Structure 1
Amino acid sequence: MQVSGKIKLINETQTFGASGFRKRELVLTTDEQYPQMLLIEFVQDKVDILDNYQVGQDVTISINLRGREWINPEGVAKYFNSITGWRIEASAAAVPQQGQAPKSFETTSIAQNEEPDDLPF
């Protein structure tokens, strides 16, 4: 699953417990009619991939939705969801720069100085 938008916030890496569990949170503002601010967690070895990104950058993040049950002391079940990121890519890299043709059009017959084929079939 993927989600796209603009990075609003990147928190510092947090380390928990004797095991050294690491977590880093990112807030993404989606590109929708009603933008959503999603808290996305990156854990363990994935926290370091956020070092290459900045607030304000347009990105696409590959995510997993996680859910868990917790039984409180009164015996009532509570449910929690989290969004865990595992890959992030800059959105601008997928768009050709202005004035550049997409690679699939660079080697057409016209580019090789041949006459264009104007037949309709």
Structure 2
Amino acid sequence: MEVQGKVKMIGSTQTFGNNGFRKREIVVTTDEQYPQHIMVEFVQDKCDLLNNFGVGQDVKISINLRGREWVNPQGETKYFNSIQGWRIEALQAAGAGMQAPPPTPPADAFEPASDVSNDEHDDLPF
């Protein structure tokens, strides 16, 4: 599955427990009629994937949905979901990949040729 949108926030890497479990969160705002702010977590070595991205950037994140069950001390069963990212790539804004060619400089910006010979064969078709 994938989530696309504009980066709203990138959190710092958090470390938990004696084993050094790492987690980093990113929030992406989708571009639709009712924009959604989707929080995606990257864990362990995937945390470093967020280093090259910034707020305002358009991205596509490949995700997995995770669900787990937990029984609290009172014996009640609770269910939790998380969205875990495993790849992120930058998207180009609409039209950003298509650049206009550079403008042609005016003719007077060039020096006239000094070594022109009218005796040379011209193979141009016009």
Provide TM-score, normalisation by structure 2.
0.74
Larger Rg: 2
Provide the rounded CA distance (Å) in 2 between the counterparts of 1:96 and 1:7.
17
Structure 2 gaps, min length 5: 101-126
Partner of 2:4: 4
Provide the rounded CA distance (Å) in 2 between the counterparts of 1:88 and 1:62.
6
Which 4+ residue blocks in structure 1 deviate beyond 3 angstroms? 93-96
3-state SS of paired residue (2:92): helix
Question: What is the root-mean-square deviation of aligned Cα atoms in Å?
Answer: 1.8
Matched ranges for 1:42-121 at <5 A: 42-92=42-92, 97-99=97-99
3-state SS of paired residue (1:92): coil
Which amino acid is 1:63 matched to? I
The count of corresponding residues between Structure 1 and Structure 2 is: 100
Provide the rounded CA distance (Å) in 1 between the counterparts of 2:95 and 2:50.
21
Provide the rounded CA distance (Å) in 1 between the counterparts of 2:98 and 2:24.
35
Provide the rounded CA distance (Å) in 1 between the counterparts of 2:7 and 2:53.
8
Which amino acid is 2:25 matched to? E
- Preserved CA contact (<8 Å) 2:62 2:87: yes
The one-character-per-residue Cα deviations of 1:37-81 (angstroms, maximum 9, x if unpaired) are 111000000000100000000000000000001111221111100
Structure 1 residue 99, shift from structure 2 partner? 4.6
Partner of 1:106: none
Which amino acid is 1:2 matched to? E
Provide TM-score, normalisation by structure 1.
0.77
Structure 1 residue 96, shift from structure 2 partner? 6.9
Which amino acid is 1:77 matched to? T
- Identity among equivalent positions (%) equals 67
